[in-house]
Structure 1
Amino acid sequence: MSSKHGKVHLGACLALLGLVAAGNATAAQGPSFSCTNVKAGSIEAMVCADAALSALDRKLASVYAAAAAKAKNQKPNTLKAEQRGWVKGRDDCWKSDNAHACVENEYQRRIAELQARYRLVDSIGPLRFACDGNPANELVVTYFKTEPSTLIAERGDSSSLMFQQVSGSGTRYQGRNETLAEHQGEVRVVWGYEAPEMVCKKAN
């Protein structure tokens, strides 16, 4: 009699464990935020319903945590404000003709930006360039192994994070108002809105 009850209890426990495991597996496949109360038709709902976007959200959460750990002795409030601004930008993807592609691109760029700015991935550099034949007109470039590829260029007291763009010849990077194009050993740089192009060569 006790043996029979033991088998019943064991079976119930195994079934309960199976349900818990299934629930945990489902949660692990979702985004880093709760999908319980997201608004239907929202960008958050799209992320919740899409495995690839959910995976990108989990990756961003991990990268953001690593960046926050590095920023805690610098400007943690700035990082938080920037992240809130990014979320708003991601949620504006509903205005895009291809909202899914827009959201995917926003995640990929934000992950790459944090990895580069907080030196969370391998890098090449810094490499120094003299522009327009003037050693004092120096450009310092560090390349980061992100996806998409990024670089941070520094000139004087200013810096620019640039993302690699599709280019027919050579390699081209685009920042907010800056561009850097590599072609046949030269680096051509535009530093600022409508600024003249500079030709920069690697310093000895």
Structure 2
Amino acid sequence: MILGRDSYCSFSIPLIILALGCFTSGVWAAEPAFDCAKADGAIEELICQDDQLAALDRKLAEVYAAASRKAANEHPPVLKAEQRGWIKGRNECWKSDDPRACTETEYRHRIAELQARYRLVPEKGPFWFTCDGDPRNEVVVTFFETEPPTLIAERGDQVSLMVRQPSGSGAKYQGRNEMFWEHQGEATIVWGYEAPEMRCTRKP
């Protein structure tokens, strides 16, 4: 069949529109919570091009909103300032050997941190651990069903949030300068930078 000029145009115009649509949609492949048209820096551009990272950004936005509601009467108000600091740290992932993996880890840990701190997920505990045979040396631990799993440990007036780490046996959690490693009801706890290990047993 021979197509006339009008017929040719009726076929070619939709194809051109389709091609332009494909090109336009490919500029930003994903939809995070922020506006990709205003993406600032390499990491935000990476998030806008990665469906999984964009989904994590949307998830974090939901969790942050829930945490903000619980933090409404928090004094001093620290959540907003902490979030700004976290964003700055996330954006430093461009310096990493694997910026994408770094960014994903930052998101997963921040989501878990907010869920635990503001009790947005189911928890187990608290459990009391007596360390080095001294009843006055006590650590109170609450576990949270986050992903990755987390715990909040309290010792006196100090509090540490820790994230579960891979381990050959037992359950190992790492905080900024603290470590909790439990195996069969006994735990090794480090509390503070270069502090000695404490041997702790869980109270019945």
TM-score (norm 2): 0.83
Identity percentage of aligned residues: 63
The corresponding residue for 1:8 is none
The one-letter amino acid paired with 1:199 is R
Q: 2 CA distance for matches of 1:199 and 1:91?
A: 39
Q: 2 CA distance for matches of 1:162 and 1:66?
A: 21
The corresponding residue for 1:190 is 190
SS at match of 1:36: helix
Q: Root-mean-square deviation (CA), in Å?
A: 1.4
Q: 2 CA distance for matches of 1:188 and 1:37?
A: 47
Q: Tell me if structure 2 keeps the 8 A contact 1:93–1:99.
A: yes
**Is 1:34–2:35 an aligned residue pair?**
yes
The one-letter amino acid paired with 2:35 is S
Q: 1 CA distance for matches of 2:71 and 2:38?
A: 31
Q: Compute the displacement of 1:77 (Å).
A: 3.3
Q: Compute the displacement of 1:76 (Å).
A: 7.0
The corresponding residue for 1:124 is 124
**Is 1:170–2:137 an aligned residue pair?**
no
Matches within 5 A, 1:40-55: 42-55=42-55
The one-letter amino acid paired with 1:34 is D
The one-letter amino acid paired with 2:160 is S
Q: 2 CA distance for matches of 1:47 and 1:76?
A: 32
SS at match of 1:160: strand
Q: 1 CA distance for matches of 2:199 and 2:76?
A: 37
The corresponding residue for 2:93 is 93
SS at match of 2:139: strand
Moved over 4 A (4+): none
The one-letter amino acid paired with 2:57 is D
Q: Compute the displacement of 1:31 (Å).
A: 0.5
Q: Tell me if structure 2 keeps the 8 A contact 1:56–1:107.
A: yes
Q: Tell me if structure 2 keeps the 8 A contact 1:126–1:141.
A: yes
Q: 1 CA distance for matches of 2:138 and 2:39?
A: 49
Q: 2 CA distance for matches of 1:120 and 1:200?
A: 28
